[in-house]
């Protein structure tokens, strides 16, 4: 059976280990409260005083240590921040658009090639800070081999100018490069054939912000099944690049009441880019 002195030494040793563990978690202070109904423990005064002095703890009578307040402002979820996986960053690509487009070639990877007039590649400034991504070309785009040139494209141009950019200063593209029949959204299988080329273009340009227009673009870039109405207006992340989901201009033509929400989304993009530019 342990002597009272050994018991006290064991308690102090265990307490020290706990204190060291708490300090590694960012807890800076503890408070000692007395154990009200503890049985009396008699130890030699000289032994107890020596041990207490060495441990920098003053013992008046037997105590138990109780954490009552965390003085460091550390949230529980922040205690284990070092255990989180490091966020994946998009590696800079040295490919040119011409190299990517050469690999696209006269694409027959999915059935959309059967009714297309032209393949519609990404257009704009290849050093752009801002990129817009839609779902697929429409009839006007298919005819002209340029993205966003129809009525929806004209509205997009006005939106771009409203936030202080010119169309030629930004980058504009789509998940798919061939027009689906009847302007329907591309199927997941069709998108999967074309999306890798868009991602390679993004890796080449490394824009600061990508605005995804509508559900199809958002779900393909962010790999999510959540709808645009739930995610729009809040910055998301694609491998370290800010992504702002908002409504597609074609949808705004059908429901002009959504223009106000879209304008709020784009103002956040404008403000972010303004602040980013001023701080660099």
Rounded-to-10 torsion of CA 64, 70, 72, 77: 120
Residue spans of beta strands (DSSP E) within the chain: 31-34, 63-66, 123-124, 130-134, 171-174, 209-213, 236-238, 241-246
Predicted local distance difference test score (pLDDT) of residue 68:
47
pLDDT at 138: 97
The Cα-based distances of 272 to 130, 242, 276 in angstroms read: 11, 9, 6
Q: Is the pLDDT of residue 40 over 70?
A: no
**Torsion from C-alpha of 247, 251, 254, 260, nearest 10 degrees:** 10
Per-residue pLDDT, averaged over 112-123, amounts to 97
Mean pLDDT of the chain: 83
| CB proximity list for 156: less than 8 A, separation 6 or greater | 132, 148, 172, 213, 249
pLDDT at 13: 74
Q: Give the mean model confidence (pLDDT) for residues 269-276.
A: 96
Q: Residue 25: pLDDT band by 50, 70, 90 thresholds?
A: low
Question: How many whole angstroms separate alpha carbon 103 and alpha carbon 197?
Answer: 9
CATH class of 97-279: alpha beta
Number of H helices, E strands in the chain: 10, 8
CB atoms within 10 A of CB 52: 15
2-16, 101-115, 124-138: the lowest-pLDDT one = 2-16
Domain edges within the chain: 4-83, 97-279
Percent of the chain with pLDDT strictly greater than 70: 72
pLDDT at 278 over 80: no
pLDDT digits (tens, 9 = 90+) for 69-84: 444 444 554 444 445 4
Please give the Cα distance from 136 to 132 (Å, whole number). Answer: 12
143-162 tens-digit pLDDT: 999 999 999 999 999 999 99
Render pLDDT for 185-235 as a digit per residue (tens, 0 to 9): 999 999 999 999 999 999 999 999 999 999 999 999 999 999 999 999 999
Strands 171-174 and 236-238: unpaired
- What pLDDT score was predicted for residue 212? 98
Mean pLDDT of the region 232-254: 97
CB–CB of 233/120 below 8 Å?
A: no
Give residue 119's pLDDT: 98
**Token output for 107:** 């694409």
């Amino acid at each position: 059976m342990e002597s009272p002195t050994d018991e006290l030494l064991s308690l102090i040793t265990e307490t020290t280990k706990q204190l060291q563990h708490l300090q590694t978690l960012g807890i800076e202070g503890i408070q000692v409260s007395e154990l009200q109904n503890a049985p009396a423990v008699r130890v030699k005064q000289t032994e107890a005083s020596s041990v207490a002095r060495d441990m920098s703890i003053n013992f008046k009578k037997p105590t138990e240590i109780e954490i009552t307040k965390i003085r460091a402002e550390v949230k529980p979820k922040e205690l284990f921040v070092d255990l989180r996986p490091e966020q994946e960053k998009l590696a800079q690509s040295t490919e040119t658009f011409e190299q990517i487009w050469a690999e696209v070639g006269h694409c027959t990877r999915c059935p959309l090639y059967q009714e297309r007039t032209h393949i519609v590649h990404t257009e704009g400034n290849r050093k752009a800070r801002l990129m817009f991504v839609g779902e697929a070309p429409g009839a006007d785009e298919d005819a002209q081999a340029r993205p966003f040139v129809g009525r929806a494209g004209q509205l997009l141009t006005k939106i771009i100018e409203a936030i202080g950019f010119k169309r030629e200063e930004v980058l504009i593209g789509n998940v798919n490069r061939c027009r689906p029949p009847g302007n329907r959204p591309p199927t997941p299988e069709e998108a999967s054939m074309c999306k890798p080329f868009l991602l390679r273009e993004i890796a080449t340009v490394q824009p600061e912000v990508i605005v995804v227009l509508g559900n199809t673009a958002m779900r393909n870039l962010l790999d999510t099944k959540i709808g645009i109405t739930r995610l729009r207006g809040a910055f998301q992340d694609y491998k370290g690049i800010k992504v702002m989901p908002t409504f597609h201009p074609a949808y705004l033509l059908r429901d002009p009441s959504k223009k106000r929400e879209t304008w709020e989304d784009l103002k956040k993009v404008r403000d972010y880019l303004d602040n980013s530019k001023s701080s660099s």
